[in-house]
Amino acid sequence: MEKISLLKLLGLPSEFGLALLILSLILLLAPYFAGHDFGVFKIPPFKYVVKKKLKIIGPILFILILISEV
């Protein structure tokens, strides 16, 4: 039985899935690197409430997108 990709089901290109995966990785790492400068981009400092929410939302979103991609 072949697994049906959610992106194929919605008619979206695979590049869109890659963009979602990168975005979810950024959300996963953002609360831990807040306020750091990486040359090309800088992650802004977040308030405590936002960091707390990102620590919950980031891993869940990353795992969901990773599972839907495979």
Structural domains counted in the chain: 1
Has residue 1 been placed in a domain? Answer: no
**Residues forming beta bridges with residue 37, ordered by sequence position:** 42
Return the pLDDT at 14: 76
Whether the Cβ atoms of residue 36 and residue 30 lie closer than 8 Å to each other:
no
pLDDT of residue 47: 92
Q: Which domain holds residue 20?
A: 6-69
Question: What pLDDT score was predicted for residue 20?
Answer: 87
| Domain membership flag for residue 51 | yes
Residue type, 23: L
Q: Is there a domain that residue 33 lies in?
A: yes
Q: Give CA separation, 70 vs 7, 12, 45, 58, 64, in Å.
A: 11, 15, 33, 18, 10
Q: Could you list the beta-strand ranges (E) of 1-70.
A: none
pLDDT < 70: residue spans in the chain: 1-4, 69-70
The per-residue pLDDT for range 46-65, each reduced to its tens digit, is: 899 999 999 999 999 999 88
